[in-house]
Amino acid sequence: MAIVSPQQQVSLAHRSEAAQSLIKLLSPLLAADADSAQATAQVAQPGDTLLQAISCKEILSAIETLVSTLCPENSIFATFHDGKVHDPLGGGSYAFQKDLVEPVLLALLNDEILANDKRETLANTLNRGVTSSGLPSLQTQLPTRPIVIHAGAQPNNSPHAGTLVVFCYAFCFAQQVKKRMEDVAANADLQLPSVTVEVTFMDTAPVIGHEFDKNQIQYQKSYREVPDNLDVRMLDYKRVLDLLSKWSDIDFRIVYQSEFFSHPSMPSILGYIIANHETLGPQLSPKHGTLALRAACPVSGCGLAEKHGRLNMYSIDTSLESYVMDASATDAIITFHCPFHGPHTISLSKPGELSRLEANAPTRNLIRSMRHLLDKSVHHVRITGSDYAGMYQEVFLYRPLANWSSTTGLATGRTPHILYAPLVVDWSGAKLSKSLYVREGGYETMELFGTDGLCSFAQLKRHFNDDGQEGLRRLWNEVK
């Protein structure tokens, strides 16, 4: 015989009471006699409106009460809505209601003009048809540089719906840019630039279980130091990218952090960052006040990195005091600290060493934008989640970019091209997150509701019992 605890008895009593209350309210609706059926079905008279509203409200309230008793160990809540979908305009949704592609293409055209000679007018520079305002028109001209649409992710979990929406947005936008340019080229003798998607994986994200503190300093080991873990995570990402590339007819390439920091412009960019580390450190990392550059210990089998760069030491060439963005004149040494093997260094004068570098999100965001703005051979457009919009970008990106531009005279009048994907939020209004940031069991009830496929691509595959095509296709269509 099962033993029921007093607490369970109370829970069962509450559930029974809630169920009986709901049954009592529903019974008149189920009455079989003709009079009750007629009374229920008759058209409401003006005097009956309040009574009907109260009855409906009471029934819904009883349902809410019953639902809250079904899982006493992990309460769930019922909510109701009318099923209507609204699209209120405001901000960007108002400004770009009719079109998003053309404003971006026109902005890329403007970048080419600034690169040629910022003093010339748009009409003189392009020497082609222009609008009455003197601005370029996509009816007669197109950007000439290749266009790369960027997205990124930390491969520390199977991609959830938020990441999948960003990926869909990147390929969908690339597809529409390509189509728009093909439509223009069909009516004019214009050369079409290539359009591709580039996905950067932050394989320097920390591996759970390989983090620890020592003397109040945090250390971590990243995924690229544990390649077996990374390979397992990457299978779902590659499947997603292959499908989106096929559906959009857009090519893509995958980039890791080692390639990101190996770019030829990195020594000069990092020279500026290091020369100004005392200013940028507190700005990019308000919590710790230090520049969060890091590098894994090179000793075989170690791979630990000091997370926030609090122990970093910078040896800077005196010529950097009056900094000029010239890689050949750049020399600085960063000394990192391993808790077991002591100091190790990276020198900017040895570009081959830079592939070891890692950076936290704000620092990486700034470095990436500087690199894109300096590139006069390719147009760069980034797609990211809306959680990186607003104050985040104002503080961590645009202010330091403006100071960099005014100090060096580089990228004058230019800002990055960034599009923000809408967030997928949970019932509380918080963004759907990775398990890393959610309490254990935080999304368990999503399985009960049949929405657990949003938690990861792996769960999406299980939900539809396939290789991921059906669930991803639904998201793809929604984004389109």
H helices of 136-203, in order, are 161-185
pLDDT of residue 52: 61
| Contacts of 191 by beta carbon, 8 Å cutoff, 6+ apart | 142, 144, 185
Distance, in Å, from the CA atom of 250 to the CA atom of 260, rounded to the nearest integer, reads 22
Edge-to-edge strands, sheet with 304-306: 206-214, 217-222, 304-306
Q: Which of 387, 436, 394, 371 lies closest to 284, judged by CA? A: 394
DSSP SS3 for 362: helix
Contact (CB, 8 A) for 221 and 304: yes
pLDDT of residue 120: 40
pLDDT of residue 187: 78
Distance, in Å, from the CA atom of 182 to the CA atom of 193, rounded to the nearest integer, reads 10
Distance, in Å, from the CA atom of 339 to the CA atom of 139, rounded to the nearest integer, reads 61
Which tokens belong to 353? 């060493």
- Angle in degrees, 0-180, between the axes of helices 361-374 and 399-408, rounded to the nearest 10: 40
- Taking the CA atoms of residue 284, residue 287, residue 288 and residue 290 in that order, the dihedral angle to the nearest 10 degrees is 10
> Which residues on adjacent β-strands are paired with residue 220?
211, 305
pLDDT of residue 391: 94
Residue 395 burial (CB count, 10 A): 14
Rg (CA), the chain: 29
Residue with tokens 């700005």: 283
Backbone angles phi, psi at 270, to 5 degrees: -65, -30
Distance, in Å, from the CA atom of 170 to the CA atom of 469, rounded to the nearest integer, reads 18
pLDDT of residue 294: 94
Q: Give kind and range of the element (H or E) at residue 293.
A: strand 293-295
Residue 379 burial (CB count, 10 A): 25
DSSP SS3 for 336: strand
Edge-to-edge strands, sheet with 195-201: 252-256, 195-201, 147-153, 379-385, 417-421
Contact (CB, 8 A) for 160 and 437: no
pLDDT of residue 476: 97
> Which residues on adjacent β-strands are paired with residue 197?
149, 252
Contact (CB, 8 A) for 159 and 236: yes
**Among positive and negative, which fits the CA dihedral 20, 25, 29, 34?**
positive
Distance, in Å, from the CA atom of 434 to the CA atom of 169, rounded to the nearest integer, reads 20
Distance, in Å, from the CA atom of 390 to the CA atom of 364, rounded to the nearest integer, reads 18
What global pTM score does this model have?
0.86
Which tokens belong to 122? 């748009």
Residue 449 burial (CB count, 10 A): 9
pLDDT of residue 7: 72
pLDDT digit string (tens) for the chain, length 480 residues: 556 576 777 788 888 999 999 888 888 777 644 444 455 445 445 445 544 655 888 889 999 999 988 888 778 888 888 888 888 888 888 888 889 999 999 999 989 887 775 444 333 433 444 444 455 567 778 899 999 999 999 888 899 999 999 999 999 999 999 999 999 888 777 889 999 999 999 888 888 788 889 999 999 998 888 888 788 889 999 999 999 999 999 999 999 988 999 999 999 999 999 999 999 999 999 999 999 999 999 999 999 999 999 999 998 865 544 444 444 445 799 999 999 999 999 999 888 899 999 999 999 999 999 999 999 999 999 999 999 999 999 999 999 999 999 999 999 888 999 999 999 988 888 888 866 567 777 788 888 888 889 999 999 999 999 999 999 999 999 999
Q: How far is CA 136 from the centre of its chain?
A: 32
SS3 content of the chain, % helix, strand, coil (to 5): 50, 15, 35
**Among positive and negative, which fits the CA dihedral 160, 162, 165, 169?**
negative
Question: In the 8-state DSSP scheme, what is residue 346?
Answer: E
**Beta strands per DSSP E along 115-204:** 147-153, 195-201
